[in-house]
Structure 1
């Protein structure tokens, strides 16, 4: 196999100080900061720097394709003064407050602030442990007649509480005047207007906000694409409705996105149960909302009495909390934005993020009916018209409550809270929910359960259990991968979380192959394709066709569960929800910015005082960052971190890796680097023509890559950090050698232009003044020229050179695209119990290239 061509990426040989040393004798890292799609630095900054004053057809360039946007010209946002009077173009904002860059109020210095942020926000340390830590710290300072930053946890809390930043006070109202309620229930909330204003003024995501509804197209083919919320049809339609009132022209539309999760917090006082209400704004980009950078906040705690009246109380509470927004839904108000200008904003109620149980509650419908369409619960997948506020109100006027319940699934006694607000339709506002509908619902609760039921129906009890145990061993045998959770006991745990289900999706398909029929494999593949496609950061018209094709395949292949009597029907609300995804994407853009996993990750904050302190710390962090006070670390100014590498010779490394011809591989590598235009394959070049290198080399344990992967959990800018390991002893135990994608032809799509290799070692050396960062790799060969038809994954096997020896090469680190994950093709054989996950890359003859390892892998390994 030819050595891959060198890219033009820039390398940094600085070790990564964040990485734990896998072994005392091996502590070095390479670090590279490149884009996995061939870009360097901060990706598409020009794309994110959208001008709020853009014309209707503003052209711009992004990620290699020329795109253009049509902006809504009537609701396009313009700066104004504090009274709402529009300013002339180019007018400066009011001067900012003149703050000193050494003012850490309410803290005395940076160390105090970062200590408070670490203990209370990041580590979330209990009060008793804070006291213990500070006591130990004080004991080390006593001989210096000094004290730690805080006396105890009370002192820490007092300092945080004294901050004026981020302080949207909590309020309370009591519903006690309703004839159908026996008790009074407290509802705690914060002003949603103030919360929205704080988000609009937050400089942390200054370049991650859209001021105007827009539609985005590619100039090639004029095809539409959807990404962030403001690119959807719903917000455009809302703008049309808003601007029927001339007084709103030139304002900025701020859609308030809501979410709630009744499983979050229980308070053991009487019959009351509380759970939080979350809010975000549609202007901020999806990646900000997913990165939890204060783009989603708790605005209320709703009381849920254990009685039949909880539905009425739920809607009344929401209506009362959101009533503070209503004036701003009708008349624009001047609000200060992060650029210092005032802008006229007009609010509206946007999508609501909830799982199915709460969708039923919100839409005032009967269980097992759809909140989005009028399909009958007996056959949810029939073609049906969408639900709407007007249609429901007309039905309620004409039919009695019993017929509404039986024939339409409508609870006539309830009125949705949205009926109290302009331009709000609860049936349209209910958003797609990837976590509960697809991952927890269709994948875990449905297909995984059906597989186990199929095995127990098809085989006797002993054989079925043997197969289930083997599936667990296969899951446990999967090799480690950066960001991938391991399952040492397979599926053997009782308390499932959303993260568990998401992690198991990535490794489950190969584990059942050979134990279930082909159509079951294809049904899983279709569902996985659907899940990964709808989770993409950008969805195009072509993507929508792929989504609809995946859904069609899923509906076709899932029939095997009915023909084998595993299930009687597929009229399941969460599976039925898949039929609404294409339309929801057109309305609300990419669903990954509206998933309930965003609100589930806020659960740890669901206590009033805790939440308020966290907001204060976040607001201080934003303010200190804006003033340039948090550059580097507390220690970096006085003591820079240093990385270490093993110094070795090429023959010594050859002995360690059991690759006797490694010195010759290095000579051929050098020839290729020095003669990039030589048409010969490096293996055909006589060794006499290749340079000889006999000096020292530096061997590293891992490489740190930073690349653009916005569909995965990443920072605000969509950048993702990944570590590729290659070390003889991982954390004092077994060796670890990760696999990688190697770029062999960037002009070919997907796996056609990529090869897979296992990294045996990272090292660097200097020759004629040039530093060469390299990797010793063992190639894997593709079995065919296309992906496997059943699983959709490419199949590879360990490459063999002369005399059936492993095929090795030395490549420039620039040729590494990113980490790859391989899962063995287990076939019908049962795994031995002694097989461990760290044997995975050595114990099998063929492997799947796991495109489901993460969303970026899914996008490239096709």
Structure 2
């Protein structure tokens, strides 16, 4: 008989039930008005608004409650007497509970029960349709092996086979890989010594986009102690050993409650309402290089994943480290030899765990911040001073700054009017590296992309030799961050697409889990208060999810007349970019909610935007729209029918300053955890406005679909939006922009060619960078001129992942 961890459903007592059995109700009918521990719907809404949405301090809560008490005294009794009463009510929530923090005598490691946190994640119905109950292998129509979410990787499959071989009673259970991550952070720039070391927890069953979307797919497990010493002993081998032992012993203690469930399955309730047997296993650990070295107990400068020596990381040998090899070294060699020759090994305390194998790829620190920012940018600056005189090198750097300063604005792109002190760079090796980065960050990897990944890495290694030849790096490239890239091929096979296991996910979690709770505390011995704040926020979220799942609470609806302010949708027109919750849908573009001008006369608009052909362009557009079978002579083709055939137009026009493009965006420019909804959806604003944020005008560029049958760029034109407007004609509403073709193309009188097109033909925004040429740029140029004064433009395919996929 074939045994597999298939995630079969069972009842709450662990007895298997038929797969077609409906899940038991979360509540009985008579419980659907039970708001425990709150007395009513409105009482929960008040608690959620005060503590979660508004993050009000205890003193302010008391002031507000006193004012409400004075106002409501003649009519009704107030729900909460003071902030202590409110806190006690939240703390008594039976959902999302965790045990009190544990403390050692000298160093405190505060944490919550990981077993309960895992159960909370498994039962969260918000992850429905974004959850895998079993490991699997996925192949496309061409029998090409694909890797996406964690459970599609080889590691989950092999681990499940290992568990079954040692624990046959786990047959039919659901394998739950525990994903951990840690990353130090500072809560105050002014008070830089306020450092914290959070440990986060997730599970491999939820999909990568949920983990990236900041939607409670990653939770705070605890806070590690940060041992300090005098500078005299900071590099002392004894202190380093002590720091490693403290780190490992704290992690081991934090995870103890999970250990029984790693050998004996336990019954848990899942997000679909069914019960299942679950068996746990420690999965990948998300960390930057210093913490990877700490986890694997290797000396800084050594690879934590393979046996490549620290003085030859660029060699051909990439024999993987293993727990068996580590144990053999411990038995054979003395501590001094271990430290000098191999690094200090760690010990194994959990079943089926090899820490070297579990270290995940880290796109943020290994690629973006490490190899690109810290290494290449620094090397190029050094290279310029090696190859040119000091005066000429500074002049070149100033010109690069000027080129950065005049780049046209784009949604989510920071503007640097004074340059950036040369923090960007273009060139063959940069392009190769950034291509590697974007391939590594693809939401779905297959054998073709993996081969391309390896080819791109080989080309990067070829191009970077210029730094060795020129003397910038005379001692070769023994850098652990760059060396780590050679392991990406195997790591993607093991863990799926690496965009779901990047340290940018844990770094972004710092804001909600560490920084905001710290600000809400009195800053004195804040660590316990911060963990308690996280506990209360989780309880409010769990209550909200439970009430919604039972149909008792509807988010976004008008709740109670005269009830809590702030429940209405926030006006979005000031947001340049945002997340989009909800399911994954096809990309679409819609006009902004706010109308800048209503019922504008077309003739008046002609003068205002200095476009004398506006009415003629609208008539040509209407002619095309009204044809029973649209011909190939589209607005963008430049052809125009005879004037007597054009419909007469005298309708008033409504003017908009922007439109919203919504599309699937699994990753974005800076890091894999940049904002996107749980469905991977993202929204970007396309602007056509004469004054943007109180400054000069902004007229964005877009991809316009001209041939739906063609692939990629072959079916697209690039155009600049000059005006968003709409009107009604013969009872039909027409939303559309007026476009200037950016090839650039010109009329016989020297003006840019223009067209009116339907909003539905826009795919998304795009970003153009001028082909600057070899000459130094004048100092007086500004971003507002960037799209008008150059003869040719690059499509900036590196502006975000969506753009890369289209242009690439």
Q: Which residue of 1 aligns with 2:541?
A: 618
Bigger CA drift: 101-110 or 312-321? 101-110
SS in 2 for 1:714: coil
Which has the higher relative contact order, 1 or 2, with Cα contacts under 8 A spaced 6 or more apart? Answer: 1
Out of 147, 160, 163, the position equivalent to 2:93 is 163
Out of 154, 157, 180, the position equivalent to 1:233 is 154
Whether the 8 Å CA contact 1:138–1:147 is kept in 2: the answer is: no
Q: Which residue of 2 aligns with 1:198?
A: 120
Bigger CA drift: 374-383 or 675-684? 675-684
Out of 777, 783, 791, the position equivalent to 1:845 is 791
SS in 2 for 1:214: coil
Counterpart check, 1:721 vs 2:627: no
Change (3 A) 1:130 1:478: farther
Bigger CA drift: 766-775 or 337-346? 766-775
**TM-score scaled by length of structure 2:** 0.85
Taking the TM superposition and a 5 Å limit, the aligned residue runs for 1:61-100 are: 74-98=4-28
Change (3 A) 1:482 1:562: same
1:425 CA drift (Å): 0.6
Counterpart check, 1:854 vs 2:800: yes
SS in 1 for 2:650: coil
Taking the TM superposition and a 5 Å limit, the aligned residue runs for 1:415-564 are: 415-416=346-347, 419-491=348-420, 508-509=424-425, 521-564=427-470
Q: Which residue of 1 aligns with 2:574?
A: none
Where structure 2 has 5 or more consecutive residues not aligned to the other structure, the ranges are: 229-238, 515-529, 563-567, 572-592, 669-674
Change (3 A) 1:122 1:561: farther
In 2: Cα distance, 1:651 partner to 1:268 partner: 57
Change (3 A) 1:624 1:725: farther
Q: Which residue of 2 aligns with 1:6?
A: none
Q: Deviations over 1:812-848 (max 9, x none)?
A: 1110000111122233333444433333223433222
In 1: Cα distance, 2:797 partner to 2:90 partner: 45
- Alpha-carbon RMSD: 3.2
1:253 CA drift (Å): 0.1
Q: Deviations over 1:747-798 (max 9, x none)?
A: 22222221111111111122222222111000112xxxxxxxxxxxxxxxx2
Q: Deviations over 1:518-573 (max 9, x none)?
A: xxx01000110111111111111111112112111111111111111111211100
Change (3 A) 1:846 1:129: farther
SS in 2 for 1:394: helix
Whether the 8 Å CA contact 1:725–1:737 is kept in 2: the answer is: yes
Whether the 8 Å CA contact 1:137–1:148 is kept in 2: the answer is: no
In 2: Cα distance, 1:811 partner to 1:86 partner: 59
Q: Which residue of 2 aligns with 1:784?
A: none
Change (3 A) 1:462 1:698: same
SS in 1 for 2:432: helix
**TM-score scaled by length of structure 1:** 0.80
SS in 2 for 1:597: helix
SS in 2 for 1:479: coil
Change (3 A) 1:246 1:301: same
Counterpart check, 1:758 vs 2:711: no
Whether the 8 Å CA contact 2:222–2:531 is kept in 1: the answer is: no
Whether the 8 Å CA contact 2:655–2:724 is kept in 1: the answer is: yes
Whether the 8 Å CA contact 2:286–2:501 is kept in 1: the answer is: yes
Change (3 A) 1:123 1:548: farther
Whether the 8 Å CA contact 1:370–1:573 is kept in 2: the answer is: yes
Q: Which residue of 2 aligns with 1:693?
A: 649
Q: Deviations over 1:321-376 (max 9, x none)?
A: 21211111111111111222210010000000000001111111111111111111
Counterpart check, 1:571 vs 2:478: yes
Counterpart check, 1:281 vs 2:203: yes
Q: Which residue of 1 aligns with 2:555?
A: 631
Taking the TM superposition and a 5 Å limit, the aligned residue runs for 1:131-142 are: 134=64
In 1: Cα distance, 2:717 partner to 2:501 partner: 35
Whether the 8 Å CA contact 2:661–2:765 is kept in 1: the answer is: no
Whether the 8 Å CA contact 1:104–1:110 is kept in 2: the answer is: yes
Taking the TM superposition and a 5 Å limit, the aligned residue runs for 1:56-455 are: 74-98=4-28, 106=37, 113=44, 117=48, 120-121=51-52, 124=55, 134=64, 157-174=87-104, 184-219=106-141, 221-244=142-165, 245-263=167-185, 274-306=196-228, 307-308=239-240, 309-383=242-316, 384-407=318-341, 409-411=342-344, 414-416=345-347, 419-455=348-384
SS in 2 for 1:239: helix
Q: Which residue of 2 aligns with 1:673?
A: 625
Change (3 A) 1:456 1:148: farther
1:222 CA drift (Å): 0.5
Q: Which residue of 2 aligns with 1:795?
A: none
Whether the 8 Å CA contact 1:272–1:303 is kept in 2: the answer is: no
Q: Deviations over 1:91-111 (max 9, x none)?
A: 233332237666555556667
Whether the 8 Å CA contact 1:530–1:550 is kept in 2: the answer is: yes
1:393 CA drift (Å): 1.8
Change (3 A) 1:95 1:463: same
SS in 2 for 1:88: coil
Whether the 8 Å CA contact 2:111–2:222 is kept in 1: the answer is: yes
Whether the 8 Å CA contact 2:37–2:92 is kept in 1: the answer is: yes
How many residue pairs were aligned? 737
SS in 2 for 1:277: strand
Change (3 A) 1:654 1:391: same
Q: Deviations over 1:37-71 (max 9, x none)?
A: xxxxxxxxxxxxxxxxxxx9xxxxxxxxxxxxxxx
In 2: Cα distance, 1:854 partner to 1:338 partner: 33
1:119 CA drift (Å): 5.6
Whether the 8 Å CA contact 1:81–1:87 is kept in 2: the answer is: yes
Bigger CA drift: 397-406 or 374-383? 397-406
In 2: Cα distance, 1:837 partner to 1:156 partner: 52
Whether the 8 Å CA contact 1:141–1:148 is kept in 2: the answer is: no
1:591 CA drift (Å): 0.5
In 1: Cα distance, 2:496 partner to 2:439 partner: 13
1:672 CA drift (Å): 1.2
Q: Which residue of 1 aligns with 2:738?
A: 776
Whether the 8 Å CA contact 2:606–2:614 is kept in 1: the answer is: yes
Q: Deviations over 1:737-756 (max 9, x none)?
A: 11111111232222222111
Q: Which residue of 1 aligns with 2:776?
A: 830
Whether the 8 Å CA contact 2:595–2:654 is kept in 1: the answer is: no
Q: Deviations over 1:426-476 (max 9, x none)?
A: 110000011111111001110111122222333333433333333233323
1:390 CA drift (Å): 1.3
In 1: Cα distance, 2:308 partner to 2:631 partner: 66
In 2: Cα distance, 1:657 partner to 1:353 partner: 53
Change (3 A) 1:128 1:748: farther
Change (3 A) 1:140 1:533: farther
Counterpart check, 1:587 vs 2:503: no
SS in 2 for 1:170: coil
Whether the 8 Å CA contact 2:213–2:680 is kept in 1: the answer is: no
